[in-house]
Every structure is written in C-alpha cells, then in structure tokens.
Amino acid sequence: MKARRRARRCVVQALYQRELSGMEMAAVIAAFAEEETFRLADQQWFRKLAQGIEAHQGELDATLEPCMSRPWSQLDPVVRAVLYIGLYELRYCPELPWKVAINEAVELAREFAGEGAHRYVNAVLDCARKSADSGLSPGQP
C-alpha cells in the first residue's frame, strides 16, 4: 500500500477518534505518531490533511451540506471523516487530480464504512466538485 493511502487511512481513524473522544487534533496527531502504521504512512500528508480539515471544517461543512440527502447528525462518523478527506483534497490539493481525490475517498468508504456508503460518498463529493467548478450552489440552474 502506498504511503499517501496509508496517511488517508490514518486520518479517517484520527478524525473518528477526535469526534468520539473530544480530544484536540494536536493530541490525536501526537498519539498517532506513536503507532507503527503511522511510521509507514506519508506523515507530512497525514498532518496536512488532519490539520487542514480542522482549520477549514466550517468551509467544508458549508460546501458539503447542500449536497447531502441527510443531516450531518445522521451520518456515520466514518462517512463524515471520509467526506472531509475527499473534499479537502478536492479544494486544497490542486496537485491532486479530482478523479484521484474522489476515488481515494470512495475506497476509504468501501474499507471503513457500511455497505453502500461508497456510493453516497461518490455522489456527495461529485456534487460538491461540480458546484465548485460552476460557482453555483447545488440545485441552482
């Protein structure tokens, strides 16, 4: 498995841990630095995603919510984490092709989330990408 994919897997786990424990992201990152799997991951990419998602969470929420068919509170925390990773890479990692960002998020959903979650992640991220490309809010002509 490639180092960036491992980093994304660690970010899913870190976001999940942060949500369940209420820990600060800096403490979660420090805890992950002790893990063996973290040593095999692209640590710089992990930090970029984890810290970037935390810094831009409000913007990410505002972009994702119009594309979702249910409220945040009804989404599994793992699905929320995967959506954050996918959208962060779409918006803030221009060196990464959009197809790669969405595909990586879909693969994370397949691995960590419930059955069918990957289709939901794909649809939401595709909607967010299209609305960002057009400059329109989702649902606008």
pLDDT on residue 32: 81
Query: What CATH number is attached to the domain comprising 12?
Result: 1.10.940.10
Whether 78 contacts 138, CB under 8 Å: no
Confidence band (pLDDT; 50, 70, 90) for 37? confident
Whether 50 contacts 11, CB under 8 Å: yes
Does residue 55 sit within a domain? yes
The residue segments making up the domain with residue 48 are 3-134
Confidence band (pLDDT; 50, 70, 90) for 38? confident
pLDDT on residue 39: 82
How many structural domains is the chain composed of?
Answer: 1
Provide the residue type at 113 as one letter.
A
Does residue 140 sit within a domain? no
Does residue 109 sit within a domain? yes
DSSP per-residue string spanning 105-122: HHHHHHHHS-TTHHHHHH
Q: pLDDT tens, 69-117?
A: 888 888 899 999 999 999 999 999 999 999 999 999 999 999 999 888 9
Does residue 139 sit within a domain? no
Q: Which two tokens stand for residue 48?
A: 């970029």
Among 49, 38, 62, residue whose Cα is nearest residue 105: 49
Burial of 73 per CB tally in 10 Å (0-12, 13-18, 19+)? exposed
The SS3 call for residue 98 is helix
Among 84, 4, 81, residue whose Cα is nearest residue 45: 4
Does residue 141 sit within a domain? no
pLDDT on residue 121: 95
